[in-house]
Each structure stands twice: as structure tokens, then as C-alpha cells.
Structure 1
Amino acid sequence: MKIHWGFVSLLCALPVVAGIAGGWNIEIVTQTLQNISDESTPRPVSICQAVASKPQAIPVVPAAGDPLNKEQVRISFIGHSTYLIETPQGVTIATDYNGYAGDNEPPQVVTMNKAHSSHFTLQPDPAIENVLPGWNPNGGPVDHDLVIGDTYIRNVTTDIRSGFGGREPDANSIFIFEVAGLCIGHLGHLHHELEDRHIAQIGRLDVLMVPIDGGLTIGHEKMSDIVKRLRASVILPMHRRGGSIDAFLKLFGSDFAREFSTDSSMTVTLRDLPKQPTIIVLNGV
């Protein structure tokens, strides 16, 4: 398993949760920090930032389950802020992974954020090949740019709230997954409005996973402003915290469609994206 960004110092970086760590049940790969930050390694090219060429893919063995054609991406709601993304080549990705990714084989990739313990785990399954933290335990921003199979994964860092009304810079990551021509974004545990620089770094989004708790992240009104600004075709709510979803939905006018699915999964293709921005509430949200 590749543990990116030197998790060897994670316990020092997370004193609040150090008592529950109990040690990592993983083999620390000490060279990954050097490999990720190696300036001599060419960066993949983002199709979501209006650049035409596509990164070279690394073949992988397709995952078990219903096969997807080369245009299809399956997205399944697992719980809280965890979605499982399955790509045409069988790459499986669990977002804001807290140790549970459903009754499936361990995903090949997990992303994590540290604002709350329900968004990460200190003991990821050893079978997970790529663990991508949304923060740098050594301080400063974390920078993920990697291609796994047919998927390019990158991140845009934001701040999180810290004690006494302060901020911890670059401690949350918005992860962007570029696959099958689609740009899929996950806001993580977002604590503040996005600046112009964040919007530019994110680029085009076709699918957006957005927290709708209305307080633990940011309020419904500001979150709806972010959704409108990012202009994704498909909006997938997550991180619901009790109550009705109506408080979030009522902030969108008739220019946004709304769908409530009886299924916890959906298949997305670039050619079949809705012409009208659509908020789709998957079963379980």
C-alpha cells in the first residue's frame, strides 16, 4: 500500500486523536513523500482545466461487479461523506474514507480529511493501495497529482477551523477525479467560502459532492452559493445532519432540477449529463 505524504508523522500532527490511534496497521513506505514532491516528475494534464490532452493511464485489473463501458462511471453513496466511485477500467475510489466503504472489496484508492474523525481513519485496510490524506502532516499544503488506471486524481486545499476562532491553513482538500471525460469533485469538510483562486484551481466540474449539514461545515445559504458558482451538471448531497433536506433544496430556484432516487447508486456518462443542473439525492442520504 502506498501511503502518500509521510504518515509516519501523523500522530504528532493530530494530537487530539493520537490516543485512539493504537498504531498504524500498515507498512509505511518511506519513499512516497520524496516521489510525490519530485519536481522532475512531469505532472499529469487536467482535462477539467480546459486543456485538451489526457494523462497516460496505468492499466489495472477491472474490479468485480457489473462491467462498465468506456464512457460510464458508477457513483454509490456509502454513508456520511463517503461515495464509492467505480471507473471503466475498474479503479475503485472511496471519498472521505473512515474505515468503511460498504460491503465491497477494499477500494484501490481512498481520500481522507481530518476535520472530524468520521472523515478519516488511522488504520486503513492494508489492502488499500493508495491512501491520500487531504492534509500534510508535516505542515503546509499537500499536493496530490497522480494517475491510477484511467483516473487522474488531484486536490485543491482549503482551511479548516481550529480552536479559539482560528484557522488551520490547507488542512482540508477538495479532491477532483478526472475519468471518462468527466470531472468529479468532492468538497470534503469545507469550512469557508471559496475564493477565485480555488475556483480556478478546481476548474470545470460535471459532478459535485457537497456537504449539506448546514453548520458543521458551512451554512446552507453559503454552500448553495458555492454550488451555483461551480456550475456542475449533477449535484450529489452528502454529510446530512438530521432534519429535512428541504432547507438546502429551497435555496435553489427553478433553474435547478431535483430528483430523489430509490437507488443508492447511479451511472454517469459525459454525453448523458443533464442539460439543466440537477440535484440528485441518492437513497441513504
Structure 2
Amino acid sequence: MPEVQFLGHACFRIRGRDGTIVCDPYHRSIGLDLGRPTASIVTVSHHHPDHDNSSAVRPLRDRVFVVDGPGEYEIGGILITGVRTFHDQVKGAERGFNTVYIIHLDDLVFCHLGDLGHELTTSQLEEIGSNVDVLFVPVGGGETIGPALASNVISQIEPRFVIPMHYAMGQTNFDPPLAPIERFVSEMGLKEYTPEEKFVINANALPDDEEQTRIVFLRPIHG
């Protein structure tokens, strides 16, 4: 059963039977401390300091395999697909490209949106697929999508679980500043939320496709 931990900002560590992945490790210059997490694989959505600090991740074995862009990768039984998207709503003219990663681990499908800046096209949705179990979605606005667009993207993908990321939590160098998580909570029509230390997901006990997407809030920890 894979275990997901939130390392802050847009960074997550996913531990599974076949390996451990860290998504979008950040540099301490953003005002948060990532620590020194361990992993066998790192995914990088784009080359900005708040998403691209793979050197901070220590190898579990001999080395860390860095996945850095669109394409298909198979590392130690883990299949990862990178889908080209944009960091803005004008096809990258303002902020360049972004890579969305679909990670197949232990019979589950995880999707990390990185700094997605727009709603997804039909072709991008086809590449992502219709069987996402866990979606990591930015919700704080600024240089990526905010609460309203995040809600739309969630409806496009229709995952079983959503874990929000990339919202205000003490980061210091974002202009405009990121929105607090409460904006997303309000947008999704929730009255309250309780952050958890980790999220453990069982492929044999998933909610039915007909059930409403469940939102999981994670408390950030140091790596």
C-alpha cells in the first residue's frame, strides 16, 4: 500500500513496494526547508527553484534517477509518463512549459500537475488517461492555477482522491502571493478540513467510480 507524505509547497514523497518517488523538490530560497529526503526517483515539472532541487534528495541505493520532461520512463518496475503542458494560459509565452507526470506504482495511478497554468486540452486529457487514483493539484494561484481553475481541472480528470498543493504556507518570494488553503476549501464547498500526517492508499479498497472525489489534506513534514 503506497504511502504519501507532503514535504511542503508542491513536493511529495510517495513510498511503494517498487520504489520511492519525490516530486518537485524545492530550494530553501523560497522560505521553506525541504530537509534531505531519500528516494530512488525524482520528478521535476519545470526548472524553477520552487520545483527543481533534485540535488537535495539523497539516494536510497546507488543513485537518484531524475525524470525531467515529457516522455515515457520505466525505472525499477515504476512506469512514469510525462505530458507536456504550459505554465500559463498563453501556451507558454509568459512562463514556458510544464510537465504533468502520471506515475504507475503498486497498481495505482498518481498524477502530479506541477505548475499547471491552464485547463487541460482534450489531447492532454487523453495522455493523462481516465483512471487517475490520486491527483496532486496546485490551488494557490499566482503563477499557477487558483481555486476556481483547480476545481475545473479536478472535474476534467475525475480522480478518486485529490491532494491540494502549492498554496500559502510561509513561502516568502512569490509575487503575487499564493492564496491560503481556505480559498480552495471554500471553492469546493467544504465547511471544514482536517490535515493528516500521511495518506495510505490501498489498491484493493478504492472507492467506486460513481462516488464523489474525496479531498485529502496533508500536513507538511520535513524530509
Q: TM-score, normalised by structure 1?
A: 0.62
- The residue that corresponds to 2:23 in the other structure is 95
- The residue that corresponds to 2:30 in the other structure is none
Answer yes or no: is the 8 Å Cα contact 1:258–1:278 preserved in 2.
no
Within the alignment, does 1:172 sit opposite 2:98 as a pair? yes
Q: Residue 209 of structure 1 aligns to which amino acid in structure 2?
A: F
C-alpha displacement of 1:85: 0.6
- The residue that corresponds to 1:132 in the other structure is 67
Within the alignment, does 1:200 sit opposite 2:126 as a pair? yes
Within the alignment, does 1:190 sit opposite 2:116 as a pair? yes
Which is higher, the Rg of structure 1 or of structure 2? 1
Structure 1 distance, partners of 2:217, 2:98, is 24
Matches for 1:44-63 after TM superposition, within 5 Å: none
Answer yes or no: is the 8 Å Cα contact 1:101–1:107 preserved in 2.
no
Within the alignment, does 1:240 sit opposite 2:175 as a pair? no
Q: What's the C-alpha RMSD, in Å, of the aligned pairs?
A: 2.8
Q: Residue 180 of structure 1 aligns to which amino acid in structure 2?
A: D
- The residue that corresponds to 1:121 in the other structure is 53
Structure 1 distance, partners of 2:165, 2:15, is 18
Q: Residue 191 of structure 1 aligns to which amino acid in structure 2?
A: G
- The residue that corresponds to 2:86 in the other structure is 159
2:14 to 85, 91, 108: 85
Structure 2 distance, partners of 1:216, 1:168, is 8
- The residue that corresponds to 1:260 in the other structure is 194
Q: Residue 84 of structure 1 aligns to which amino acid in structure 2?
A: R
Task: Name the SS of the counterpart of 2:163 in structure 1.
Answer: strand
Q: Give the number of equivalent residue pairs.
A: 199
Q: Would you identify which runs of 4 or more consecutive aligned residues in structure 1 move more than 3 Å? A: 99-104, 122-128
Answer yes or no: is the 8 Å Cα contact 1:237–1:281 preserved in 2.
yes
Matches for 1:133-148 after TM superposition, within 5 Å: 133-134=68-69, 142-143=70-71, 145-148=72-75
Q: Residue 114 of structure 2 aligns to which amino acid in structure 1?
A: G
- The residue that corresponds to 2:146 in the other structure is 219
Structure 2 distance, partners of 1:174, 1:86, is 19
Identity %: 27
Task: Name the SS of the counterpart of 2:98 in structure 1.
Answer: strand
Structure 1 distance, partners of 2:213, 2:12, is 20
Answer yes or no: is the 8 Å Cα contact 1:115–1:189 preserved in 2.
no
Structure 2 distance, partners of 1:186, 1:223, is 13
Q: Residue 193 of structure 1 aligns to which amino acid in structure 2?
A: E
Q: TM-score, normalised by structure 2?
A: 0.78
Q: Residue 156 of structure 2 aligns to which amino acid in structure 1?
A: R
C-alpha displacement of 1:174: 0.4
2:185 to 233, 244, 249: 249
